[in-house]
Structure 1
């Protein structure tokens, strides 16, 4: 009895080729995402050999988009965004505007209509969250100030793209595209936009008022049953059901529904478990998404439009990088931060593909435009790892040229110096705290409650500004630079407290501090046992790490309880 096996063929061949090309990409130190896109190109109808069923691929891509957006929602952290809001929010919006205008400029020169040029430009403006998180994670930068700024910047970009995806169908006719289904061509555009915004607002209100309470309760109830598969099924059902419900009931995109489903699941007490349990499934569907995107790509574009592709790559890799760097430097952040953010944004990814597909469906983009976006993404993602490798050499090259260093490093930054109102008597026998994270903040609060003088050295400008607003002595800068420690008056301090950071940076800070103040005591908070033992072996100061201190505190508590019990029975 004959039966249809197109789906099985697509999955078998797609996963097999994705594994092969993903492995090759990883061996070449490229993001595996490049390999997945190439796998899709190999089984594309546009290339000879095995051909995957494009209709099935598109449906699997829809699922991939939903799980990608669900993952973005689960990674969205309002707390992290608020920490860098003063640079991430205006910076991302301005950078999107600049990149979009660059895209509009080159496409208008090609003779495109303004509507097509605008959608194309927006596609080039948004970087890939997947590529960024991988690049920062591989380099240990995710928890650094530079990493948090880059991630916060991208979170704002993601939110803007979600808004664009919601509004684009409503304004498609105004931009020269097709009317959305159920929309009368002669109906006022403003009415369509208002109705769309009302539907979106209704969905968001529903999720924040009802979904935020109901879904975490359901997850908590199922978690108590102790069934791992039921827990995973609950989270997956929440993602898919909310996504489809958003589309069926409120008429908004399934991508937006999945994004809010992820945000709501994150509110649950079991969010970490939910993320771990669904990660394999989310990654599988993400791979299918990138394979299906590759299937849409026609390699002939490389031969027919080479100049246009070079211009697209220039906008993504050069235009976006320069724009981001200039914005970061204008906010008076150091050169290293500007270079890191610039490299982070010099690529495009999943949102570009999603937006391009929507643009094609609305008649705002042609298949050729979609191919140009895919080609630009492939080359930009491939070049991105080299952009990160270039950060240190470029920084050294600039610093070797004093006139450039003076211009880029902003030595006149008022936050790099303690304010005049800090009394000189205060800057003797003080405690200098490096970093104002969880550890540094708690130490500072405890010391200040005991009226012990404190000076904080912190990289994040926003934190320094908040501390100064509270009347706390704080200086902005990277503590491995002698000038920052000198501004903190390390030469007169009695104690140096170093929050968790890279072990090489810890050694450099301690070396500089002891050169300036040979009598200073040093306390170091290590990330883990291995790091603690390595620092102790170098005898640079007293070392603490979380699990060890927790065991000591628990042991002491147990002994105290036993002593109390003995006294009662005595």
Structure 2
């Protein structure tokens, strides 16, 4: 009964080895992602010892992509998406074209056919969703303009790959036929674009009303399990429906599920509750990629591997850098986006597999794609580390502030002092802000949601777009002359970092923060907060107060039977 357990052995073997090698990588001061990839190589079919189920691992990894993209969608409004369309659409298309042409040039050198070169080049053109998002999350760039451009760019790449996956079989038929059927190709293209538009329209028109309503109903039951189940059911259900009904990718379906839920007050809770699952399955994604890699390609064809890697890391990055600069963005933004895109991932594997099935790509071609993916994912954290060192060395603090100001819509310090500096404008922050406005206390809000900042500015409230952990953002919000600092963000440990930085600059500042747990209260207090409010404790105190125990103390008495 217990002999055949491929699912359990794959998950347990992959996670245990990924944990051990991730710890080792962290000790060596390199990204844990490298440890996860090496773990995949070790449990894969090309190395001796334990071999995980190679058919199950990609499906488990796909779950990670779905949950990760859903979480990104929860922090990415439609307004944010439309704000970067002017650079994301032409930039992504041009960069795909450049990478494809470079791949075709390499294939011509290797003596492959034109069709093989086209498929190979397309495989090298699209970045990995998981790698890009993990890199941005680690550096708190998801909500920055740089992060939003990179994510918008990635979405356009995903859409382009969806069209490619649909059109490739028709292209393969044309190659094999004596007479090319251009009409069929055009009909397939129109049909695919129509389905993508239909899906996005359905999510915007129906989903943005239905999804928040379902989540609110689940929350009203008071059951945490039902709420979490509702979040997972919607993320996975919409992603699966997007694939089955509209032929778009799991990642794109999950992303738009998160986007339509973004407008709900429960979006932060949904993101928090799914975080452990997202992290676990994201690790399995990297393990599954490592399982596909045959290290012998490095010995058998090292020159081709190096050229493939150069196209991914330098060719794509150079194209992205030039395009972003042409659109008038700063060098810092261009370098960040270039580093984000200097790798390939899940769509490359899917496209290479389809190319082999259609007879358009050889096994050698797929091996080069996998080698390029593995190596580019491994060195991507190193590229970001080099970028951070370069920026730290070549930019003064003043230049960094100027760069951030350019990226964040040329923000300048607010012309206000003796104000309440309110960090976070969710459910708690908005209630505090409304009360302060009512009694006439000036407020400056720091928020990392562009849509919320725009809404506040339309109401005449001074708002700064950015992350409060960044000193330059707090300078723009005039921390130096604020009367109070009020932290309403749900992450207590992030609040502690903000408190520590603020206390270092202002020993006289009154700081009040929010927390969920006792350990968060201790952490924030130790870092310098004057008061820390824990929601559950305050609810209990309020309920005790309402009992009027001081006026009417309760005394036990005999209960008649």
List alignment gaps of at least 5 residues for structure 1: none
Aligned to 2:355, which of 359, 374, 390?
359
2:557 matched residue in structure 1: none
1:542 matched residue in structure 2: 530
Q: Superposition RMSD on alpha carbons, in Å?
A: 5.7
Q: Secondary structure at the match of 1:455?
A: strand
Asked whether 1:556 is paired with 2:542, we answer: yes
Aligned to 1:509, which of 502, 511, 515?
502
1:472 matched residue in structure 2: 461
The change in CA–CA distance for 1:204 and 1:398 in structure 2 (over 3 A counts) is closer
- 8 Å contact from structure 1 (residues 332, 413) kept in 2: no
1:495 matched residue in structure 2: 484
Aligned to 2:379, which of 383, 406, 415?
383
Aligned to 2:522, which of 522, 530, 533?
533
* Structure 1: distance between partners of 2:425 and 2:310: 38
Asked whether 1:35 is paired with 2:38, we answer: yes
State how 1:223-262 maps to structure 2 within 5 Å.
243=240, 247=244, 250=245, 252=247, 255=250, 259=254
2:73 matched residue in structure 1: 77
- 8 Å contact from structure 2 (residues 312, 372) kept in 1: yes
State how 1:107-186 maps to structure 2 within 5 Å.
107-110=103-106, 111=108, 116-117=116-117, 119-132=119-132, 134=134, 139=138, 141=139, 144-146=140-142, 152=148, 156=152, 159-172=155-168, 176-178=171-173, 186=181
2:190 matched residue in structure 1: 194
* Structure 1: distance between partners of 2:465 and 2:135: 26
* Structure 1: distance between partners of 2:238 and 2:23: 35
Deviation at 1:375, TM superposition (A): 0.9
* Structure 1: distance between partners of 2:95 and 2:134: 23
The change in CA–CA distance for 1:310 and 1:401 in structure 2 (over 3 A counts) is farther
The change in CA–CA distance for 1:211 and 1:57 in structure 2 (over 3 A counts) is farther
Aligned to 1:103, which of 92, 99, 111?
99
* Structure 2: distance between partners of 1:77 and 1:457: 21
* Structure 2: distance between partners of 1:498 and 1:239: 33
* Structure 2: distance between partners of 1:25 and 1:550: 36
The change in CA–CA distance for 1:334 and 1:451 in structure 2 (over 3 A counts) is farther
1:372 matched residue in structure 2: 368
* Structure 2: distance between partners of 1:414 and 1:244: 38
Deviation at 1:364, TM superposition (A): 4.2
2:556 matched residue in structure 1: none
When normalised by structure 2's length, the TM-score is 0.69
* Structure 2: distance between partners of 1:266 and 1:65: 23
Q: Secondary structure at the match of 1:172?
A: helix
2:29 matched residue in structure 1: none
2:310 matched residue in structure 1: 314
- 8 Å contact from structure 1 (residues 432, 495) kept in 2: yes
- 8 Å contact from structure 1 (residues 432, 488) kept in 2: yes
Aligned length: 527
- 8 Å contact from structure 1 (residues 246, 257) kept in 2: no
Q: Secondary structure at the match of 1:85?
A: helix
Q: Secondary structure at the match of 2:444?
A: strand
The change in CA–CA distance for 1:236 and 1:185 in structure 2 (over 3 A counts) is farther
Asked whether 1:395 is paired with 2:404, we answer: no
* Structure 1: distance between partners of 2:505 and 2:357: 60
